[in-house]
Amino acid sequence: MSVSLVIPAYNEAKYIVQTLAYIKKLGEKDTELIVVDDGSTDETASLARKMADQLICLRENHGKGFALQAGWQSAKGEYIVCLDADLEKSALEYVELLKPVKAQQTDICLSIIQPGKKAGNGFVKKRVQKLIYQQTGMWLEAPLSGQRAFHRKWLPILLKQHYEGFAVEAQMTIDLLKAGASIFELQTTMTHREMGKSLKGYTHRLKQWWQIEKQLRSVRV
């Protein structure tokens, strides 16, 4: 098995069928599609079961970090690609993230996603950029990107940590940089839903910010 695609999903019934359908339509050989249903209360699991090569069902909602680690543990591919469940057609661009990794030009490739009309004000992103820079000396454009590819040799580092929900991208980035990994950010046209400046959007970002602060504080202590 060459590539393992790991997609964590919580109540993504509205988007996951399109995302998986486009990936399957691409028909890449030696690729396994792993979906981790993170205790969804909608039809995410039943829809994913029809299309994924492997479906991991968590009985309770543990958060994105836990779900990703569950997928990594089952991944057999030489290369690992993490994708969000709501990418729909833009999920096809995962192949572009793999190219610089396979060519050994970088250890990890992150997707830079341009903010849309419903994007927030970037407070959480700026905070994470600063935290990563303080701990590693590297300034990243897309530190919160859920779309990333890397070689499986980095899995031992990622699997020995406990990642707090939405803090997973920030902390795994710091862990990998401190372990000596190189990171390249690739401009893509990947898109996924934005919650905007609504109450739901601000609540989501507040939860994200708190989990990141909690995660990184526990590491620094």
Instruction: Report the pLDDT value the prediction gives residue 166, as an integer from 0 to 100.
Output: 72
For residue 2 the two structure tokens come to 């060459």
166 and 149 Cβ atoms separated by less than 8 Å: no
% of the chain beyond a pLDDT of 90: 72
Q: Which pTM was predicted?
A: 0.87
Express each pLDDT in 158-177 by its tens digit. 999 888 777 889 899 999 99
128 and 209 Cβ atoms separated by less than 8 Å: no
Judge whether residue 207 has pLDDT over 90: no
Alpha-carbon separation of residue 208 from 18, 114, 128, 213 (angstroms): 26, 19, 11, 9
6 and 72 Cβ atoms separated by less than 8 Å: yes
Instruction: Report the pLDDT value the prediction gives residue 119, as an integer from 0 to 100.
Output: 54
Instruction: Report the pLDDT value the prediction gives residue 195, as an integer from 0 to 100.
Output: 55
Express each pLDDT in 138-151 by its tens digit. 999 999 899 999 99
DSSP result, 93-124? GHHHHHHHHHTTS-SEEEEE----TT---SHH
Judge whether residue 117 has pLDDT over 60: no
- 164-168-170-175 Cα dihedral, nearest 10 degrees: 100
Q: Which of 145-159, 167-181, 184-198 has the lowest mean pLDDT?
A: 184-198
Express each pLDDT in 71-82 by its tens digit. 999 999 999 999
Phi and psi for 36 in degrees, rounded to 5?
Answer: -110, 105
Judge whether residue 218 has pLDDT over 90: no
Q: What is the 8-class DSSP label of residue 1? A: -
Instruction: Report the pLDDT value the prediction gives residue 42, as an integer from 0 to 100.
Output: 97
Instruction: Report the pLDDT value the prediction gives residue 221, as an integer from 0 to 100.
Output: 38
Instruction: Report the pLDDT value the prediction gives residue 118, as an integer from 0 to 100.
Output: 53
Phi and psi for 43 in degrees, rounded to 5?
Answer: -95, 15
Instruction: Report the pLDDT value the prediction gives residue 23, as an integer from 0 to 100.
Output: 97
Question: Once rounded to an integer, what is the mean pLDDT over residues 127-155?
Answer: 94
E strand spans, the chain: 3-9, 31-38, 54-58, 79-82, 108-112, 148-151, 183-187
Domains of the chain: 3-220 (3.90.550.10)
Cα three-residue angle 154-159-161, rounded to 5 degrees: 115
Distance, in Å, from the CA atom of 26 to the CA atom of 83, rounded to the nearest integer, reads 15
